[in-house]
Structure 1
Amino acid sequence: MARPYDGRPQTGADYLASLDDGRVVIHDGLPVERVAEHPELRGVAHTIASLYDTMHGDAEGDAEGDGDGGDGLVLVPTSDGAGVTHPFWVLPHTRDDLRAQREAIRAWQRRTHGWVGRTPEFMASVVSSMAAHAPFFGRFEQQVRDMYARDQRDVTHYAQALVNPPVDRDLPPDEVADVFLHVVRETDEGVVIRGAKAVVTGAATAQRLLVSHFGGEVQTSDFAIAASVPVGTPGIRIYTRGTPARADQPLASRFAEHDALVVFDDVLVRWEDVFIRDPETMLAFNTGAVGWNVRLVFQATTRLEAKLERIAGLAVRATEIMGTSELRGVQAALGELIAYRDTVAALRDAMIEQAVPSGDSLGPGPQAAMAFAGYGPDAYSRMRVTLQTMLASAFAHLPVPPDALGTEHVLAVEPLLRGSGGADARERLEVMGELWDAVGTGFGARHELYERSYFGQAERMHLGILRAAQATGRVAEWQSR
C-alpha cells in the first residue's frame, strides 16, 4: 500500500518497510527472509535509511520543517510545488542550480564517504534526464513524465539493470534469447519479459529496477524494452554473493553493496512503467540523446571526491602514526593522492562551467565528463597501489580488533600496540583498520573493480572521446591552426 504523502520524501522507516514487498533474494545460494535484517544486507540497507532520515531532520543537528535536511542538505520544491525533494531530482536551469545539486550530492556522499555507489540520488541522473527530454519518448512521453513526478516526490531508490550477462558478447543481443532480456509477448496490461541482467549493483536493497539494454545494438523490437520495474514484481529473482565482512571491518559492515544477477521469469511490466519499445529509440537513448550519461558522471565525480577526501585524511594520519610523515617519498605520495582528489573535483566543477542546454534543462558539460570517464579508472588503481606501497605492512598489522582492547588477554600488550604522533592503541587500530578495509580486504578489491568498470570497457570510452571530438569539429579546428 502506498504511503500517505506529506510533502516530503519517504523516511528511513518507509524505505525499510518497502523492502518487505515479497521480493525473492537468494544470497550465497540461500533464500533471504527479510532483506533489512539479513546480516550481510542490513548494513547498507540501514545506511540508505539514514540518508532518507536526513530529509526529515532526523540526523543530529538537523532542523525540522525549514527545508534543511541537515548535514548541508537543503531540500528544494518539487516541480509541482506540492512538496520538497532532494535537489538532484529537480531539473537544473542555471549554473547555480548545478552548484546546489553538487552540494546536495556532497551532503549525502560525505556521510557514506563515497563508499555506497548506488545512493538514492544516483538514478536521478537518468530519470531526470528522461524528463528533460520527455518528447523524445514519443507515445511513452506521459509515462516518463508520470514516472519522474512519482520518483522525484519519493526519491525512489533504484538499481540499474542495463548490462547483459558476460556471455556471447560477440553476438548481437537478439541472437542470445536464451539468456538476454527480451519481450515474450504484449498484453492489454503490459509487456511480459524474460531473461537476465548482470552486475545489478544494489538490486537486493533497491525499490525499483531501471531496465534497459546497454552494450550491443538491438535489431528487433522483441529486445527493445526499457522500463521501471518494482523489485517485488512476481517472477523477479535476485541472486547475490556475499562480500565476507567481519564485525570489525568498519566499511564493509556498513557500506557493502552486492552485485547481483537478476532473472526475469515471464515478468509482467505494466504499460505505465514502459518507456521504450523500438530499437531506434533504444540506440539513441544509450548513446546519450537525453544526456543521462553526463549527469551520471556529475554524480559519480562528487561521490568519488568524498571517497578520496576520506582516504587522504586517513592516509596522512596513518603516516603520522607510523612515524614516516616527514619522509620525502611519503610526502610526495600523499601529495599525489590529494592531487587525484583535486583533479576529480576540478573536472566536476568544469562540467558546471561548461554546462550546455539539454532538453528542458541545463546539463553538465560533456567534454569534462568524458575526460573524467577516461581518466578516473586507471587513476583509482594507481591510488590503491600507492597506498599499499606507502603504508606497506603497517596497515595490515592488526593483531587484535579494537573492541578487544582492555580485555583480559589483550590488556597486557596494549602498550605495544600504540602508534607514533600521540596515537594510542585504539586510534592506531581504527585508522589502519579502515584503510585496510578500503584497499586490502575483499571489500577494497571489489571497489577497485567497481571504479575501473564504472563506465564500461575503457577502450570504448576512449574511442567515444575521439569520435566526439571529431564530430563536433574540434579535431579539424586544431588541425587548421
Structure 2
Amino acid sequence: MQTGADYLASLDDGRVVVLDGERVERVAQHPALAGTAATIASLYDALHGSDAAALLAEGPGGAPTHAFWAIPRSRGDLRAQREAIRAWQRTTHGWLGRTPETMAATITSMAAHAPFYGRFEANVRAMHARDAAAVTHYAQALVNPPVDRDLPPDEVADVFLHVVRETDEGLVLRGAKAVVTGAATAQRLLVSHFGGEVQTDDFAIAASVPVGAQGLRLYARGIPSAPDAPLASRFAEHDWLVVFDDVLVPWEDVLIRDAATMLAHNRGAVGWNARLALQSATRLEAKLEHLAALAARAVEILGTQELRGVQAALGELVAVRHAVAGMRDAMIEQAGPVGDEGAWGPGVEPAMAFSAAAPDAYGRVRALLQTTLASGLAHLPVPAAALAEHPEVAPLLRGSGGADASERLDVLGTLHDALVSGFGARHELYERSHWGQPERTHVGILGLARAHGRLDDWRG
C-alpha cells in the first residue's frame, strides 16, 4: 500500500491540467488543489498508522488493503467494509466525493464477476490485484459532455469518447468525458460509458487509464473560496472535462470492448451500482453528522436553541442522517451471494431506494439550515485571522452559550462554507446529480419491482 508521500509524488507524472485557463505545473502545490491532495495523502498515511487495523482487510494474494478493496465473502465482511469506509469518511466529514476507496465499488464488483468480461477476464483480475495492493486513487470518467443529447451517442463522434483504431499495442481513444470529479488529484481514470445506451462497439469502451497518459488533457474552472475557507481549503474537488487526443490504451488495461457487455454492465449484471450506493451512503452519513454537530452548536451561539421551530429543523436533519444510515444498513442486512465465485453483494432494493432519495434529501437539508441559521450565516464581517487587527469587532461577534468571537467565526464560518459559498453550492449540485437523471433511477426501481413480482405480491 502506498504512503501519503508515494501518492503526492505520483501526481508529478507529466499530467496536463488546465485550471481557469492556465496550465498547472505541479498539482500538489497549486493553491486550489494542494489542500485536497494533502487530505488524500493523510488517508494513505492512516493505512500505516497505529489505528490501521480497523481500515484493513486481506486483498488478492493475501496482501493487506483498505477493506473496501477486498471482495466481500459474507455479511460480516460488508459490515467491516462499512466501518473502514466510515473511518476515512469521518476524517473528511464526507466532503470528498472521490476518496481512494470509492472506485473500489466498481473494480471489486468487476473482479467478483471476472468471467462476465470474456476475453478481458484476465485484465479485470489483474487490475483488481494491482490496484488493491496499492489502493490506487481513481476518478471515474463516465459521462458524455452535454452535447447533442437528441442524438444517439454513436452519432456524436466529434465529441464523445470512442475507439478510432486498434493497434498491436492497444486501442487509440479520441473524444471527451465530462464531470470527472477529482480527476486532477487522481492517479488513474476508470473510463466507461453511462447514459444514452451505445449501439456500436467503437463507443462501448471501458478501460483503466493513467491520468498522466500521453494525449490526455484536463480542464476545469476553479471553485471560488477565501483563503480562510475551512472546507474549501481542504476538500475542494473540481469536476473536470477530460479530453482524449488519440490516447493509446494498452491491451492489458482494456476491460470492455463491445456494446452488449457494456449494456449489461450498466444494468446491474455485476452489482457495482449497489456497491457504490453502500460507499456513497456512508460518505453522506458522515457529511450529515458533521452538519448536524455544527448546526447544534451554531444555534447555541445564536441563542435560538430553545425555539421550537429550530429544534424541529435540527430534528429533521438528524432524521435524514438516520434514514441514510438505515438504508445503508439495509443494504448489508439484505445482502446475499452474487456470481459464481463466493462473493457477496449489498441488497439492490435499498441501494436503489437510497439513490432515489438522497439527491432531494441533501437539497432539503441545505435549504433547512439556510432558513434556520438565517442572518447568522451572514454576520461574519472579518476573517478569524483578522480579529487581532480589529479588536473593536470582537464584542459584536460574541455569542450565547459562552462562545467568543473566535468560536463564532469558526462554527458559523464553516457552515457558511458548507451552505452558502461556491463550495457549498457545488456540493448540492454534486449530491443532486450523483446518480444521474432521477427519472432513470425511478424507472429502474419500477423495473426491479416488476422483475421481482413485488407489485403482484402487494396486490394480494
Measure how far apart 1:412 and its partner are: 2.2
**Which one of 403, 415, 424 corresponds to residue 435 of structure 1?**
415
SS at match of 1:114: coil
**Which one of 68, 86, 92 corresponds to residue 88 of structure 1?**
68
Counterpart of 2:46?
A: 54
Counterpart of 1:392?
A: 374
Q: Does 1:242 find its partner at 2:215? A: no
- State the distance in 2 between where 1:77 and 1:348 align: 23
CA contact (8 A) 2:387 2:393 kept: no
Measure how far apart 1:77 and its partner are: 2.0
Q: Does 1:285 find its partner at 2:265? A: yes
**Which one of 352, 357, 361 corresponds to residue 379 of structure 1?**
361
**Which one of 193, 196, 212 corresponds to residue 173 of structure 2?**
193
> How do 1:158-307 and structure 2 match up within 5 A?
158-307=138-287
SS at match of 1:263: strand
Counterpart of 1:309?
A: 289
SS at match of 1:288: coil
Measure how far apart 1:218 and its partner are: 1.1
Residue deviations 1:33-74, cap 9 Å, x none?
Answer: 0000011011101110010000111xxxxx2xxxx417xx33
Measure how far apart 1:115 and its partner are: 0.1
Counterpart of 1:79?
A: 60
SS at match of 2:392: helix
Q: Does 1:347 find its partner at 2:327? A: yes
Counterpart of 1:368?
A: 350
SS at match of 1:193: strand
Q: Does 1:10 find its partner at 2:2? A: yes
Q: Does 1:20 find its partner at 2:20? A: no
Amino acid at match of 1:51: L
- State the distance in 2 between where 1:244 and 1:372 align: 30
Q: Which runs of 5+ in 1 are unaligned?
A: 1-8, 58-62
Amino acid at match of 2:58: P
- State the distance in 2 between where 1:79 and 1:175 align: 40
Measure how far apart 1:445 and its partner are: 0.4
Q: Does 1:331 find its partner at 2:337? A: no
Identity fraction in percent:
71
SS at match of 1:400: coil
SS at match of 1:212: strand
Residue deviations 1:84-123, cap 9 Å, x none?
Answer: 1100000111111111000000000000000000000000
Q: Does 1:150 find its partner at 2:134? A: no
CA contact (8 A) 2:218 2:242 kept: yes
- State the distance in 2 between where 1:119 and 1:399 align: 34
Amino acid at match of 1:378: D
> How do 1:83-122 and structure 2 match up within 5 A?
83-122=63-102
SS at match of 1:31: strand
Residue deviations 1:341-399, cap 9 Å, x none?
Answer: 00000000000100022223110101111111111111111111110110101122101
Amino acid at match of 2:33: L
Residue deviations 1:383-437, cap 9 Å, x none?
Answer: 1111011010112210111111222xx1123122110000011101100000010
Counterpart of 2:25?
A: 33
- State the distance in 2 between where 1:163 and 1:406 align: 48
- State the distance in 2 between where 1:221 and 1:372 align: 32
- State the distance in 2 between where 1:74 and 1:436 align: 32
Q: Which runs of 5+ in 2 are unaligned?
A: none
Measure how far apart 1:240 and its partner are: 1.3
Q: Normalising by structure 2, what TM-score?
A: 0.99
- State the distance in 2 between where 1:343 and 1:242 align: 33
CA contact (8 A) 2:161 2:203 kept: yes
Q: Does 1:44 find its partner at 2:36? A: yes
SS at match of 2:418: helix
CA contact (8 A) 2:170 2:251 kept: yes
- State the distance in 2 between where 1:326 and 1:449 align: 32
- State the distance in 1 between where 2:291 and 2:218 align: 32
Coordinate RMSD, CA, aligned: 0.8
Q: Does 1:459 find its partner at 2:451? A: no
**Which one of 129, 132, 141 corresponds to residue 112 of structure 2?**
132
SS at match of 2:440: helix
- State the distance in 1 between where 2:377 and 2:197 align: 46
- State the distance in 2 between where 1:433 and 1:367 align: 39
Amino acid at match of 1:394: G
Residue deviations 1:206-247, cap 9 Å, x none?
Answer: 100011111011111111111000011100000011001111
- State the distance in 2 between where 1:259 and 1:413 align: 38
Amino acid at match of 2:359: P
- State the distance in 2 between where 1:264 and 1:386 align: 41
Amino acid at match of 1:139: R
Q: Does 1:69 find its partner at 2:61? A: no
Q: How many pairs align?
A: 458
- State the distance in 1 between where 2:276 and 2:332 align: 13
